Amino acid sequence: MRIGIIALLQESNTFIAQPTRLAHFEEELLVTGEAMRDRLAGTHHEVGGMLHALEGEQAEAVPIFAARALPFGVVEKPAIETLMHMMLAAMDAAGPIDGLLVAPHGATVSEPWPDVDGHWLSEVRRQLGPDRPIIGTLDPHGNLSPAMAQACDALIAYRTNPHLDQRARGIDAARLICRTLRGHVKPKMAAAFPPLAINIEKQHTAEEPCVSLYRRADEQLADDRVVSNSIMLGFPYADVPEMGSSVIVVTDNEPALARQLADELAGYLWEHRKEFEGEFLSIEGALDKSASLSGPVCLLDMGDNVGGGSPGDGTLLAQAIHERKLPKGLVVLCDPESVAMAEAIGEWGTGLFRVGGKTDKLHGPPLACEATVQGMFDGKFEEPHPRHGGIGSYDQGRTAVVRTDTGLTIVLTSRRTPPFSLRQITSCGLNPAEFHLIVTKGVNAPIAAYREVCRTFLRVNTPGCTAADLAEFHYERRRRPMFPFERDAEWRAGARG
């Protein structure tokens, strides 16, 4: 069996003015052919799992195309057109294949195609033909579209958030396509789309209400006829018709059962919709609460969530800690200008800085402070353990560590880097256990790494392009009615659309 592999992953925040360009993919991942194997084999990424499983199944893996960019704005037209051309040309050059493994993100938006994933999956289906299987993985932060489901025989979403099971789901997809090609199973997939936006605060799968939701999903898997089921938590920062939650059920040649179980799971979500609303802890409330807690306390800066596309230079929490003169605080800010200034001052030199707040006016003004340069670093580090995103190698650019006159330690990076690894700070000679407050630019993803040192996590309702309070955003293209925007919205399990 010759089985192709294609991956295109990017989370597009439509509330960010700047576009995602081709250079963003080139900086992160953009390869074709065997270069995919070089970059992704052995990783915790789903493609790493696919390659591993195909080898175990004695099938020939045919790497075709892989592209990934950090979450950011809408993908501009020249970039997505170039990516599509590269993908389809590489697929044509790969020669005959018996099936295709795909890894879309599920929340990619572009200027010409708001449903990028539905578009490229439909294109590869057209090129492959109707009779050969396409089976793939999804990030549960995707916004599933009918076009995505129609193009594929089966889609399997990661089951954890933070995403620690990407490799495992890639293995599942690869084994399923082999079983399908051998005639051992005939996947039939159904999807349901309750009009519900799950708040980002409530998307941690190890906490309620997700624990009970996934327990209900696991109960369905006890039926031998059920191949897999998935919950798409959704990505609320994309103003597209597909925005919102959805569920997927795949059975072995039982389409009516797949539809019944998808409706049942969607019905559970709708019945419990109020449990998936945010709680919105303020900055002042978070600092007041943390004062009585043993450290380290992780303050999750939801409005400046790098994993949702934000700039990573939001200063509001840092400003509050600095003004209160709270001891033993730590924050990471992306600010190449301040890194250059620290480099010019030199280690142990002191200067007047204006750190962060340079990208836009949504995430706070620059923090004016007197600070001493504690050290300069190259910003490169490795993460050996499974972490959110499946990323192993990081490069946050030239990095400076400075400490303000009030005792706030600031790690200044030259490149926007998500806080998915403790090595982001330990590689700079810092011991996270020595801090009382650690600010991370995320919501749930940082927990996988920071739970090794932090006793408490507080999700803070900071403003910004990834704010938890969805009432802060103006949507034009989302579904209507949708809860919680329209609180009197009505829907019943089995309803379509």
397-430 pLDDT, tens per residue? 999 999 999 999 999 999 999 999 999 999 999 9
Contact 448, 475 (CB under 8 A): no
pLDDT of residue 407: 95
* Residue 361 and residue 336 in one domain: yes
pLDDT of residue 178: 98
* Residue 52 and residue 14 in one domain: yes
Query: Considering the domain boundaries, does residue 486 fall inside one?
Result: no
> Which of 104, 157, 201 minimizes the C-alpha distance to 442?
201
Q: Tell which of 276, 300, 330 closes a domain.
A: 276
* Residue 269 and residue 291 in one domain: no
Mean pLDDT over residues 168-189, rounded? 98
Contact 137, 103 (CB under 8 A): yes
Parallel/antiparallel/unpaired status of strands 134-138 and 99-104: parallel
Q: Classify residue 280 by burial, with Cβ atoms within 10 Å: 0-12, 13-18, 19+.
A: middle
Mean pLDDT for all residues in the chain: 96
> Which of 27, 101, 96, 25 minimizes the C-alpha distance to 63?
101
* Residue 313 and residue 257 in one domain: no
* Residue 201 and residue 312 in one domain: no
* Residue 297 and residue 271 in one domain: no
pTM attached to this predicted model: 0.96
* Residue 209 and residue 295 in one domain: no
What is the C-alpha to C-alpha distance for residues 278 and 198, in angstroms, rounded to an integer? Answer: 9
Q: Tell which of 237, 257, 276 closes a domain.
A: 276
pLDDT of residue 11: 97
Q: Tell which of 276, 293, 314 closes a domain.
A: 276
Return the SS3 of 480.
coil
pLDDT at 497 over 70: no
Mean pLDDT over residues 361-380, rounded? 96
* Residue 39 and residue 128 in one domain: yes
Q: How do residues 20-56 score in pLDDT, each as one tens digit? A: 999 999 999 999 999 999 999 999 999 999 999 999 9
* Residue 462 and residue 415 in one domain: yes
* Residue 225 and residue 150 in one domain: yes
Which domain covers residue 201, as residue numbers?
A: 2-276
Query: Considering the domain boundaries, does residue 492 fall inside one?
Result: no
* Helix runs in 94-143, H state only: 116-128
Query: Considering the domain boundaries, does residue 475 fall inside one?
Result: no
Considering its fold, how many domains does the chain have in total? 2
Query: Considering the domain boundaries, does residue 124 fall inside one?
Result: yes
> Which of 151, 144, 108 minimizes the C-alpha distance to 231?
144
Contact 272, 199 (CB under 8 A): no
Query: Considering the domain boundaries, does residue 266 fall inside one?
Result: yes
CATH number for the domain spanning 268: value is 3.40.50.2300
* Residue 216 and residue 351 in one domain: no
Query: Considering the domain boundaries, does residue 487 fall inside one?
Result: no
pLDDT above 70 as % of the chain: 99
Query: Considering the domain boundaries, does residue 23 fall inside one?
Result: yes
* Residue 90 and residue 225 in one domain: yes
Query: Considering the domain boundaries, does residue 484 fall inside one?
Result: no
